[in-house]
Amino acid sequence: MIKFLDLKRINARYKNEYDEGFKKFLNSGSYILGNEVSKFESEFKLYCGTGHCIGTSNGLDALRLIFEGYKILGKLNAGDEVLVPANTYIASVLAISSSNLRPVLVEPDSNSLNIDVNRAKMALTPKTKAILGVHLYGKLYNVNDLEALCEANDLILIEDAAQAHGACMVNGRKAGNVSRAAAFSFYPTKNLGAMGDAGAITTNDDALAQVVNKLRNYGRSSSYENDFIGYNCRLDELQAVFLRIKLRYLDAENEKRRTMAQLYMKLIDNEEIILPEMDHISEHVFHLFVIRHKNRDRLKSYLFENGVETLIYYPKPIHHQKAYADLKDLPLPITDRLHNEVLSLPLNVCLNSSEIEKIANLLTDFR
Ligand SMILES: *Cc1c(COP(=O)(O)O)cnc(C)c1O
């Protein structure tokens, strides 16, 4: 069986470096917000090209702290509307609701599968104050158009970069640096994955950086001074050890993912299968390789019977979740159709080209 993702194999490649790192960590005696966290923050902000990086407990908390931070700064207020793509992972929307803001779901563009900027424009109301763009599956959203829309309407552009570590425009701007503030997740399956929960915020907004830096640590400004009602959302020191090691391999691994994606593109020959959009290849880091087919469930079983595990990201859209029953009557036909058609093929750094050939041949032969 070709597994969708084998985390044990993926992490085994770094075993020696992890062992070394853990030994140093153990001997350091410093286990919360120590040197490893601050070194990772310096390295990751340099990597993204931003003025600041603030490590957090996970991606959802990173997003939530950005929204809460802008509320403290008076740029957002409870009840404000935030546009967000309807086909994203639910965490994007949870961050908006749990900050007492109102998520407004916008349909994606059916080629890029990212937010449709024209539809976003049509969804604007006087209460719209921000847009949460998502680089879904690892592909940057339409940066130029989304920035222009936000600028023209005085909206804060926030970035969910949880799937796009390292995605880069031709002008060199990277995921994490194409908005006012970005949230990353280092959940173990992501392109830059820790060995547990971890996340980060990157931003060039000095005021926001100061606020979220306190918010993640009880709202503290110093040991016994608390400026805000904060949280405990710190990046774990041990996760920073692992992340610093893995960050060094991120560009090479993303390049490998792109090569695999191009091989799939070259080999899959089946008119019924819709392949991912491949323009601006540096802007895509293929967190997932997502194809579409009108008989998706039959295709999934066929692949499984032939020894290939695939997954569906995501089987049930947000507006059909019980948690969001208030959104259930929204007409979102593109999102509904995508959720019935999308299928993620195995694509990870442990996969080899003969496995990709096998999968591609099976897809070519599917009728
Ligand atoms: C993984 C993910 C998140 C949440 O990150 P966690 O670290 O699991 O909290 C948010 N948004 C998107 C698009 C994701 O893929």
**Is 91's C-beta closer than 6 angstroms to any atom of ligand 1?**
yes
The mean pLDDT value for 225-251 works out to 97
Yes or no: say if 241 and 153 are a contact pair by the CB < 8 Å rule: no
Mutate to test the pocket of ligand 1, among 160, 195, 288 (most ligand atoms within 8 A of CB): 160
Classify burial at 222, counting beta carbons within 10 Å of its beta carbon; exposed 0-12, middle 13-18, buried 19 or more: exposed
**Is 58's C-beta closer than 6 angstroms to any atom of ligand 1?**
yes
DSSP state of 104: E
The answer, yes or no, to whether residue 223 has pLDDT greater than 90, is no
DSSP state of 251: H
91 CB-near residues (< 8 Å, 6+ apart): 59, 60, 63, 162, 185
Average pLDDT of every residue of the chain: 97
Model pTM score: 0.97
Mutate to test the pocket of ligand 1, among 88, 92, 186, 236 (most ligand atoms within 8 A of CB): 92
**Is 162's C-beta closer than 6 angstroms to any atom of ligand 1?**
yes
**pLDDT at position 239:** 98
Q: Specify the residue with its C-alpha closest to ligand 1, atom 14.
A: 162
**Is 159's C-beta closer than 6 angstroms to any atom of ligand 1?**
no
Yes or no: say if 338 and 316 are a contact pair by the CB < 8 Å rule: no
Q: What is the largest CA-CA distance in the chain?
A: 67
**pLDDT at position 167:** 98
Q: Which sequence spans correspond to the domains of the chain?
A: 7-106+113-247, 250-365
CATH classification for the domain delimited by 250-365, as one of 3.90.1150.10, 1.10.540.10, 3.30.420.140, 3.30.10.20:
3.90.1150.10
* Ligand 1 atom nearest 186 alpha carbon: 7
**Is 213's C-beta closer than 6 angstroms to any atom of ligand 1?**
no
Q: Label residue 231 by pLDDT band (50, 70, 90).
A: very high
- Give 166-182 pLDDT, tens digit per residue: 999 999 999 999 999 99
* C-alpha 364 – ligand 1 centre gap (Å): 32
Is domain 7-106+113-247 annotated with CATH 3.40.640.10? yes
**Is 205's C-beta closer than 6 angstroms to any atom of ligand 1?**
no
The answer, yes or no, to whether residue 310 has pLDDT greater than 90, is yes
